[in-house]
Amino acid sequence: MDETGLTRHEASNVKRETGRKDSKHTRLGYNEDHAKSGITASLPGIETFSNQYKGYEITIEIPEYTAICPKTGLPDFGTITLHYMPDKECLELKSLKMYLHAYRNLGIFYENAVNRILHDVVKACRPVWARVTGEFTARGGLSSKIEASYP
């Protein structure tokens, strides 16, 4: 295998098919546009309210998360769990719900969705710490669990 993870034979085929050693597409047709899909999409803002206490944790479970696979256009389903310790601000749940519902029509990979949600939550409320976990329903016999943490 070479540095791309391809065997010599596979790398040779890529070079022969494309005229160069590395291709912008994977063997299954994934490309950079698929990889970046949804990362910078415009989504509703997440509102906050002033926290009145210190030293406690909040867990929010979203059991009906849906998005669209940017490669196939098929829906993805899963449960998003947000666990955080608020500092000066807490997340307002109705705006969080509207934010998460906006993913329903968004083409985005699981990994990007979980990291984007964490990024947007941290930007909105600046928690002491936060963790977002996405548990996605099985497709093709595989299920995925993605976790992202701050800091």
The one catalytic residue among 76, 90, 120, 125: 76
CB atoms < 10 A from the CB of 61, how many?
11
The one catalytic residue among 22, 69, 90, 125: 69
Token duo for residue 3? 């540095």
- State the SS3 of 28-78: CCCEHHHHHCCCCCCCCCCCEEECCCCCCCEEEEEEEEEEECCCCCCEEEE
d(CA 118, CA 137) in angstroms, rounded, equals 20
- Judge whether 90 counts as a catalytic residue: no
- Judge whether 33 counts as a catalytic residue: no
> What are the catalytic residues?
69, 76
